[in-house]
């Protein structure tokens, strides 16, 4: 398959791209790669798809959110989080319908903060929850037998800097999260949120 991995310069994205490249033709995109994209800008997504052309799968490991206490986070920071992690991924799907082949797939990313609360996590919870609900709803509307799933990981073992923000959470190894992405791309499921940890 020809697979587009968005956010391939990050920890999860690089791991997913490496794993998929064993058996597939992988195109790595990010704000800093040869094929660049900024998912907060629809015109950047358009340019990326125009450059890459038709693909069999789109994998998103992209999206940033603000982590601040509720009494400190601003309206604009909530809006920016939604624009980046949620609407950016939705736009990857919306525009990607013209580029994903029949029986292809989209795999998005959310996160544990969509289902378990942490202090400073309200914007992340909003963005992650929205992506997961979009996945359920979009799965019954996508044409040409195109599939859509989301991977929702907890904090990674390899991301030790984040561990203090997740007290009592059991970290999971990157390999487990990567496996869920591979399962989504190479499998047959649709409308699922693969919860890791």
What is the arrangement of strands in the sheet containing 35-36, beginning at the earlier edge strand? 35-36, 25-30, 2-6, 55-60, 100-109, 147-153, 192-196
Domain 2-196 CATH (choose: 3.40.50.720, 3.20.20.150, 3.90.1420.10, 3.30.70.1150): 3.40.50.720
- What pLDDT shows up at residue 43? 98
- What pLDDT shows up at residue 128? 97
Count the helix, strand and coil residues of the chain and give each as a percent rounded to the nearest 5. Answer: 40, 20, 35
**CA-CA distance, 147 to 172, in Å (whole number)?**
26
- What pLDDT shows up at residue 175? 98
DSSP 83: I
Strand partners, 72: none
Ranges in the chain, pLDDT < 50:
none
**CA-CA distance, 124 to 94, in Å (whole number)?**
22
Domain ranges of the chain: 2-196
Identify which of 80, 98, 97, 8 has the alpha carbon closest to the alpha carbon of residue 40. Answer: 80
- What pLDDT shows up at residue 86? 98
- What pLDDT shows up at residue 69? 96
Q: Which two tokens stand for residue 156?
A: 């990674």
Considering the entire predicted model, what is its pTM? 0.97
- What pLDDT shows up at residue 49? 98
- What pLDDT shows up at residue 121? 96
- What pLDDT shows up at residue 108? 98
Question: pLDDT tens digits for 123-166?
Answer: 999 999 999 999 999 999 999 999 999 999 999 999 999 999 99
């Amino acid at each position: 398959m020809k697979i587009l991995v968005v956010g391939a310069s990050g920890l999860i994205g690089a791991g997913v791209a490496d794993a998929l490249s064993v058996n597939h033709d992988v195109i790595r995109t990010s704000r800093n790669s040869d094929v660049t994209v900024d998912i907060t800008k629809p015109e950047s997504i358009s340019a990326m798809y125009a450059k890459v052309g038709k693909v069999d799968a789109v994998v998103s490991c992209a999206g940033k959110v603000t982590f601040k206490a509720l009494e400190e986070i601003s309206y604009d920071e909530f809006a920016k989080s939604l624009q980046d992690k949620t609407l950016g991924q939705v736009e990857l799907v919306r525009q990607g319908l013209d580029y994903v082949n029949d029986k292809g797939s989209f795999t998005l990313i959310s996160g544990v903060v969509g289902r378990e609360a942490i202090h400073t996590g309200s914007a992340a919870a909003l963005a992650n929850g929205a992506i997961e609900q979009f996945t359920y709803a979009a799965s019954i509307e996508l044409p040409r037998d195109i599939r859509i799933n989301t991977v929702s990981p907890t904090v990674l073992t390899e991301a030790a800097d984040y561990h203090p923000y997740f007290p009592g959470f059991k970290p999971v190894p990157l390999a487990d999260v990567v496996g869920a992405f591979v399962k989504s791309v190479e499998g047959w499921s649709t409308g699922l949120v693969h919860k890791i940890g």
